[in-house]
Structure 1
Amino acid sequence: MRFRMRRARQKQVAELNVTAFMNLMVVLVPFLLMMAVFSRITVHELSLPSASQASEQEPPSLQLEVIMRTDHLVIADRRRGPLHRIPNTGEGYDLGTLGERLLEIKRGAPSIDQATILLEPQVDYQSLIWVMDVLRGGQTDPASGLRQPELFPQISIGDAPVQGGSGR
Structure 2
Amino acid sequence: MRRRVHVEEDTGELNIVPYLDVVVNLVMFMLLSMTGLLAFGVLNVSAPKIAEGAVAGEAAEQPKLLLTVAIGRDGFYIAGAGGVLGQDAATPDAQRPPTIAKREGKYDFAGLTDALARIKEKFPKEQTVILSADPGVEYDTLIQTMDACRDRKVPGADGKPTHEKLFPAVSLSLIG
TM bin, normalised by shorter chain, reads: 0.7 to 0.9
Name the counterpart of 2:82: 80
Answer yes or no: is 1:156 the counterpart of 2:171. yes
Q: Which has the higher contact order (CA 8 A, sep 6+)?
A: 2
**TM-score, structure 1 normalization:** 0.73
Answer yes or no: is 1:57 the counterpart of 2:54. yes
1:70-115 CA-to-partner distances (Å, cap 9, x unmatched) read 11111111x2111140110125110111010000000100010011
Name the counterpart of 1:124: 138
Q: CA deviation at 1:123?
A: 0.5
Number of aligned residues: 141
Q: C-alpha distance in 2, partners of 1:33/1:156?
A: 30
Q: Unaligned regions of 5+ residues in structure 1, if any?
A: 1-16, 162-168
Name the counterpart of 1:26: 25
Q: Unaligned regions of 5+ residues in structure 2, if any?
A: 1-15, 87-98
1:13-55 CA-to-partner distances (Å, cap 9, x unmatched) read xxxx84134212332133213321332122110133555xx22
Q: C-alpha distance in 2, partners of 1:153/1:72?
A: 21
Hey, which bits of structure 1, 4+ residues long, moved more than 3 A? 48-51, 56-60, 138-141
Greater helix percent: which structure?
A: 1
Name the counterpart of 1:111: 125
Q: C-alpha distance in 2, partners of 1:42/1:118?
A: 21
